[in-house]
Structures are given as C-alpha cells and as structure tokens.
Structure 1
C-alpha cells in the first residue's frame, strides 16, 4: 500500500470498536452475563463520550495506573471532567489495598528520579544504585503497603482503572479466549489482515454455559499465580497450591480441558526440570493428554524404572495422542532389540551433500542452491505447500458455520481446528469434497478459485505467497490422485499436529520432483518429521533426508 492509499481511521475509532464489542456480547450472551457485567455495559452507555473515550484509552494500555499529566488525547475535550465521571461511576477508583503486582505498577508509573524523590523521608535502607526494576522490587519488600500508597498514590494526578474483572469476562465472551486483543480491529481496518467474511447471525457461541467461561477465567488467573510460584516456590508449596485447584473439575469441562492440560504440563515440567521427579509424575498423571504420558516415560527412564516406562508405552500404542508420543512409545518397546531411536535410524539413511561453511546458518538455503546448480527449481516450503493444498481444497468445509466453531468476526480459525473434533464434525463433508474432485485438473481449479476469492484472509493453513501457490500446483501435477487425497485425509484426522513436520525443500525439474528434509551435522530428525517421511514412503511420494557436510 502506497502513502497515498494509506487508510486513516476515524478520530474515535477505538471507541467504535469498544461499543461494537459490548453490543455484540450484550446481544449474543445476555443469558450468560452476570449482574455485574450487564451493569458494566448498561452504565458505560450512560457515560459522557469523553469519559467513554478515556476509559477505553487507558483500557487499551498496559498497566493499571496512569498519570493524567502524561496523557495527551486531543479528542478528549476535558480530561479532568472525564476522570471525575469515571470515578463517580466506578470505572476508575481509589485503591486502598494493593497486590504485589499492583504495587509494582503504581511505583512504576514514576521515573526513577521521581521514585527517589518521593522516598526521601523513608528510613528503611534502600540501594538507590539498583536498576529501576530491581529498585521497585526492593521497595515492595522493605516498605509497608500503607506507606507505598502514601508515597505514590496522588489522587490529583493518578488514574486507576476499575472494573477490570467485568471487562475481562466480557472480552472473554467475545474472543472465546484470554489473549484476545482489540488491536485486531485496527489490523483489519487498515488492511493488514483480512478475516473470513461471514453473516454474524450464523456465528455460534464461544461458551454454552457460564461455568465454562468462569473456568477459563479461573485457569487464566491460576496460570498467572503460578508465574510467581515458578520463581521461588518449593516443591511442597507448589504441590499444596496445585491440590487446592480442583483440577479434575476443570478437566471435566470440555471447553476448559485444554487450558487445564496446559497448566498441568507447565507445573509438571517445572518440577521435572528442577529434578522433583516423584512430584512431577504426580502432576502429569492427572491427564493423559499430550505430552503428559511422554514426559512420564522420560522420568521413568531417568529413574531406571523400565517396567513402568514399558507399561505406559504399551498403553500409548493402543491409542496414541500424536506422532511424537507414538514414536517415543515405540522406541521404548523396541529398546531391547533396537539400540538407536527410530528417528536416528532414519536419519542415518539420508543422502550426503557437501556445502560451503558460508551456509552454516542458512543450511536450507545452501541445500536449495546445491540442487539449483543441478538444474532443479525449488522452494524452501517446509509446511507451506501441503498446508496450502489442504486449506484451499477444504476451504468451505473449514469455515462452514454449521459446525458452531466460528464465534466472532475477527476469528482466524474455527475452534475445533486444535483437536480431533475437526475430522469427527466434518468427516462426511470432507469425503464428499474429495469424491467430487474426480481428477487433478479439478483439484487445481478448486485451489485456484479459493486462492483468488479469499486471497489474504487469515488462515493457519494457506500461505498466500505466489511462489508457494505455484509450487503447490506443480506438486499436484506430479502426484497421483490417490497420493493427494490420502495425504489430505491424514492431515484432516488431526490438523493441529499433522499440519507440521513436512520436509524443508520441494525441488523439481521437467520430469521429476523431490522433497528433502535438510539436516546439518548438529540437527536431529523429530518424530513429526519421521511420521511424514514414513507416510511418503507408504504413498510412494519422493522424499529423502539430506545430510549436510561442510566441505
């Protein structure tokens, strides 16, 4: 986009977005909102426009404490009056108690010289030579909370954001997760991203019950609490904290389960990393989701508990969660007869090429130059080609609103894309699509049509670069119909884990093509990569490992 084509947003664009979001949530989630959230929306609508603007402005900034003297918003005619309105309505407040995080934010609102000046009368020994971050932490440790408020809270200058819990829940209902960002509206409207165009009346709900949303919010808060425990919490303290969470309740809620699994993994891995192996095992055993069983096997191996490792590996092989888990379990079972891991064995079968050491940090680029010198065209495609073919062939099935997996207009991907429900929900439609595509010309036409009609729309699958599209079409011309369809269905079974691990390079000339997974002398084949190499073997798709030697 040229300077002349630059999109200029309206002066109060941020307020328009905020009002839209409130209206959307009020309309779609009226039965799930509690009294405080409903009141938040209704009372906000009654505020003066200046007060609304000021609240949204501070809401969009990081932190909770802001110096009015440092704020400059030309569109707000009377900042002092707007602040007074927010105080009267409770959207700003005067703090009387501070958490550690809030105490840090309050002090951090000032410069280091200002902090020094304010604490001149403090008798507690403070090392003023410390960097600002460390200085603030020392102040929090040595100065009472009451004194911190007395020194740093200036009611004439400080604006303190209020109603954070209500806003956090409202935003959660809109985005469906805790990391939703209002900047997505800006990204969309200035043309830096396109989102799928869908009739809002066809959008489903992010949550079916209030309990699901509250569980997601609680897990988010627990995750933040664990950040503090990670720094200085002993194993016993962490276990005590974890057991107070009622993690089984969170695991029982379908929409909270993945968040609970992430927290379990995070806590377990922290303990494992610090060699609290029995405690880590206890944590991991709360879930069978990946990578919990894999981590347990690693601990059993460290403890020389081969019986438990083998028993768990056998359980995994009956129903593996993903490729990595499968190969790790397989290696445990085969350990007595096979000295090397499956990935290592496969890597040893690769072909060797010699590259200049100048490519040491650009190994794929060097390999591409090597094959180019032999008359091949090629791209460093990695996952892009197969992902793009999948995303373009199944575009309508991925974004079909009938599966209740699209919930808001800024959504990049359907919510079931991250689990096996994707295939379960769409099995009939996916197979029907492949049945309708009776030859490769029809596949290419389907890809080209969706590429042209949806170019630039945010998608985890499609790479919109022209070179990747050209390479994708070239690959389709080389492969058989069966090879293409079988590979697409394998991805569809588990798009989250099976849309990665593809070989680094795709090269071709007029008569042949190859996929190459490029490995430098210090690089190792992953389980995901081995999975696709074995799949390509079965389908007779040309794919090899290239072992680079520095010549």
Structure 2
C-alpha cells in the first residue's frame, strides 16, 4: 500500500481507492451485497465522478450547495454530479428544516427570500433564524421554501456506508479520511505487521453493527445528551468480543464522568460498577465520598486497599482513606510518607535561566564529571520499545487494522500485556540472560525511523545508547519495564529529567529538576517512590537563581 503525495491533486482519490481495496480484501465476508455493489459501481465511474464523491465523503455533513462543489482538479463537476445522481448516491433532499437551510444559505439569500416574514431583515444571521423559528415552520422541500431557489442543494446519501468502510479500515470513527492522507505521504514509515483473518478485531457483521452503535452512543454523549438516556440505550448490551468489550468499558467510564459532573451520583455508581476501565473502581469511592456517603465510601476503599489494581489506585487510596476516617469521627491517620529521595540544592547564576532550568543543571552537573543527558521520559521508554519491539507489534486480534498504525489500538487497555504474555516474557527474558544489549542494538539498527509508541528516534544516538547499556543494570531495566507494562498510560510519564552516566565505573544517576516555585507532580512522586523501593539511584535537584552582585 503506497500513499500518494499531495503534489498529485487527486491524492485523496488514490488513497480512498486503497481503502476500498484493503477493506474488500480483508473483510469481504462482512460486507453485504449493497456494499459490494457500491464498490463495483464506484470502480466503474470515471475519475471526475469518483473524485467528487470522495470530496463529499471527506467533507462535513451530507448536504451541499452545488456551487460549493467546484474543484479545479475535477473539472466539469456538473457532469460528475450527474453520474452520481444516476446511481442514486446523490439527490435533491426531500425536505429541509429551517436550521438546515440557514446552515447552507448566505445571510443575503435568506434576507431576500424571507423578506416578507422578517421584522428586522438587517439583523445578524442568528437573529434572522430566531425570528423565523418563532413561526415554527415545518420542514419542506427547497422549492416550497423559495419560489426561486438561489442555489441548488444536493444530498450525499451513502455516508453510513462509507462510515462502515472507515471503521473497518481505521478501527474507529474518530479518525477521518484526511488523517489517513496526512499520515501516508511517505514521510512516515510504519512497521509491517502481518495481517491474517485471525488477527481481525471483528469477525462477524453483527460485531460491526455493535461497534457502530457504541460510536453513536459516544457521539450522543459528546453532543451533550443526558447520560441517562444513553445508559438506557446500552441496557442489556453484551458481546464476547474482547475488542468491543474494552470499548464498551471506556464508554461507560466516560458516562460515569459526565454523571459526576451533573451530580447524578447513583447513576454514576451504577455505570462505574459495570465499567472495566482501570480507574472505575477508585471513581466509585470518590462518588460515594462526594455524595457524603462516608460509611459506604470507607468500606469500599478498605476493600480496594486489600488488593489495589495499580499504583495510581494505591496513591489515590492513601489520600482518600485518612479523609474518610476523619469524616467518620475517627482519629487522625498518620499518612504514609514516601521515602525521601536525596536532594541537591543548587544556586546558579541568574543569566543561566535563559538556558532553561534543565539545561542549566545539565551543564552544571557535566562540569563535575560524567556524561549528562536530558532524557525525561524518552530513554527508558525507548529502551523498552526496542527490546520489546516484537511483543508490541505482535498481530494479536484487534491490535492493527491497517498498515499505517504507529501503535496497537489496545496499547492503553488493562490487558495489553496479558494478551501478549508469551512475547513479553521472551523479550524481558533477555534481561535475565544478558542478551538484551545485542537485542536492543539490533532493533536500533533494523527499525531505524519506523513509527513506534515508545521509541523517540530523534533523541537516541549511538553514544547515548552505548552509555545507557554500559551503565544501566539489567535488573533496574526490568523493574522499570515491568512498571511500564502495569499501566502504560500513566507510567510512561513522570520519569526524571536528567540522567548522568559514569561509563568507566558503570554507574548512573537520575536527576529530577525543579526550578523556583515548581513542585513534584503525582506521577513524578510515584516514580521517585518506585526508584527508592527498587534501589534505582535518583536525586531531586532544587534550583534557585542567584542575584547579580
């Protein structure tokens, strides 16, 4: 699948053809006769008609002014439009609401056409709409709105069909056709994941229908619909398909968050209880606390503390449990204090502030010896991404939908590691037998520049990689990589800013830098606690600027 450059004015048409070919080759058994007939009919159209159709697919909405469908690269759009009308893919809309009319027509066209009904014809367009809405006009054909319509309006009729194609290609409906175009210009290179029928996320047409229904519910939520009606629409929802179940869990979590914003506490609790989202459990505690059900909140928090799901939940429980005990009239609870990291207090010349606080500290530490790099979250993530490349890009069902994905779709799902357990065991096992050095170097050479959710190619260099592999103990890397896999979304950030290597001694130190008035964030505190627990050398550097003499 080779993408076409935007220098080709019909690049969008070439890419759309590739999408249809990919979907037909991979999902032919999930397409109905109407969809297969559409593909065949599309292939039979001449290029101008195909291009005009794709332009409408890529634009927002389904209603268009004919005079806004003029494209230089297409040429005679009138003829192209006739070809689409002959197939029934485009038609004049049977009815238009007043709101649709106002979205399509200019203010001068509306003021002229409704002159006899407007008390203030020179008002703003929104005010013209309000004046006419007061008359509560019913939807009607364009010819009944205006005796002489100022423009022709056409309706594109196959958007649901094309949305189904988009879902099968992208694996979601949040990416649009333009994203596909921008991602595939040859500027970005992607890992070639093998596709097989068994690696498909969707195996039955009914599952495609369920995926579309979930997306429609998510859209209703985004458009501001009350969560109660959406929860009702999801009542009885069930699927044995893990890919769909994960999306269902994420939607329920989003519904629970909206219930919280609206103060609908009981509904929020019910929704969170059904969600498989990693933070759904702790949100139930917070809902009970916010709705002042202290006893229930405390009982649930104690239950969760017996077997916390992840470090983020541990941190949240450490904060909420003392509050709940106080609310119940119990004695003040001593908060468990994190083991303090060594502190470096630095006073640097104020003129160094122009470098940025991290660079100023990096230069200062480098003067004292060793090799110091600004890496923040990039180094450990990159080493993990290189060592575990094969596991990350394993063709498990529902992970990859098309050849232009930088990451598996389930990257942030709680069962990401479990679904690739054997592959990750093999990759991480290299840290135990000492073969990880060569494996990382081999991947660094072989995969150079390929898109990855973990590898930061621009910051990697031969020197940095050599120093890191010489100074970072395999046991320390394994601790960090296992922590990453526990909760990728939250644990891939918060790592210290700088790393200092002493290659001759095979030693290293990480340094978190804090400028005046800056404080440690929650994810940074969790990393520091983790480093203290596992003996990873780390320090926190507090910087202040000296005043000029």
| TM-score clears 0.5 | yes
When residues 116 and 126 of structure 1 are mapped into structure 2, their CA distance, relative to the original with a 3 A threshold, is closer
> What is the aligned counterpart of 1:169 among 164, 168, 186?
164
Under a length normalisation based on structure 2, what TM-score does the superposition of the two structures give? 0.83
User: Would you say the 8 A contact 1:313–1:330 is kept in 2?
Assistant: no
Rg (Cα) greater in structure? 2
Instruction: Give the match's secondary structure for 2:192.
Output: coil
1:88 maps to 86
> What is the aligned counterpart of 1:182 among 177, 180, 188?
177
2:259 maps to 271
1:235 maps to none
User: Would you say the 8 A contact 1:504–1:517 is kept in 2?
Assistant: yes
Matches within 5 A, 1:50-129: 50-97=48-95, 103-104=99-100, 107-123=102-118, 128-129=123-124
> What is the aligned counterpart of 2:387 among 388, 393, 412?
393
Query: C-alpha deviations, 1:472-513, integer Å up to 9, x for none?
Result: 542332221222233223323443443333223334456653
1:294 partnered with 2:314: no
Query: C-alpha deviations, 1:45-64, integer Å up to 9, x for none?
Result: 23333211110122122333
When residues 255 and 436 of structure 1 are mapped into structure 2, their CA distance, relative to the original with a 3 A threshold, is closer
2:418 maps to 424
Give the Å deviation of 1:373. Answer: 6.1
2:512 maps to 517
When residues 326 and 34 of structure 1 are mapped into structure 2, their CA distance, relative to the original with a 3 A threshold, is farther
**Bigger Cα displacement from structure 2, 265-274 vs 162-171:** 265-274
User: Would you say the 8 A contact 1:176–1:207 is kept in 2?
Assistant: no
Give the Å deviation of 1:323. Answer: 2.3
1:34 maps to 32
Query: C-alpha deviations, 1:449-488, integer Å up to 9, x for none?
Result: 2223222222111101144674354233222122223322
1:262 partnered with 2:250: yes
Give the Å deviation of 1:81. Answer: 1.4
1:284 partnered with 2:272: yes
Query: C-alpha deviations, 1:306-357, integer Å up to 9, x for none?
Result: 3222222233334434321222123334555876766x85689855445659
User: Would you say the 8 A contact 1:398–1:414 is kept in 2?
Assistant: yes
Instruction: Give the match's secondary structure for 1:249.
Output: coil
**Bigger Cα displacement from structure 2, 273-282 vs 28-37:** 273-282
1:313 partnered with 2:307: no
In structure 1, how many angstroms separate the alpha carbons of the residues matched to 2:224 and 2:157?
26
1:218 partnered with 2:216: no
In structure 1, how many angstroms separate the alpha carbons of the residues matched to 2:361 and 2:122?
55
In structure 2, how many angstroms separate the alpha carbons of the residues matched to 1:334 and 1:361?
42
In structure 1, how many angstroms separate the alpha carbons of the residues matched to 2:465 and 2:315?
29
2:311 maps to 323
User: Would you say the 8 A contact 1:502–1:529 is kept in 2?
Assistant: yes
User: Would you say the 8 A contact 2:95–2:141 is kept in 1?
Assistant: no
> What is the aligned counterpart of 1:414 among 389, 408, 412?
408
* Structure 2: runs of 5 or more not aligned: 326-330
Query: C-alpha deviations, 1:148-189, integer Å up to 9, x for none?
Result: 955589595334322111111111011111123334553454
User: Would you say the 8 A contact 2:48–2:77 is kept in 1?
Assistant: yes
**Bigger Cα displacement from structure 2, 368-377 vs 45-54:** 368-377
Residue correspondences, number:
531
In structure 2, how many angstroms separate the alpha carbons of the residues matched to 1:302 and 1:465?
45
User: Would you say the 8 A contact 1:380–1:505 is kept in 2?
Assistant: yes
User: Would you say the 8 A contact 2:23–2:165 is kept in 1?
Assistant: yes
In structure 2, how many angstroms separate the alpha carbons of the residues matched to 1:250 and 1:525?
42
RMSD: 3.8
When residues 435 and 80 of structure 1 are mapped into structure 2, their CA distance, relative to the original with a 3 A threshold, is same
In structure 1, how many angstroms separate the alpha carbons of the residues matched to 2:178 and 2:268?
38
1:460 maps to 453
Instruction: Give the match's secondary structure for 1:29.
Output: helix
Under a length normalisation based on structure 1, what TM-score does the superposition of the two structures give? 0.82
Instruction: Give the match's secondary structure for 1:413.
Output: coil
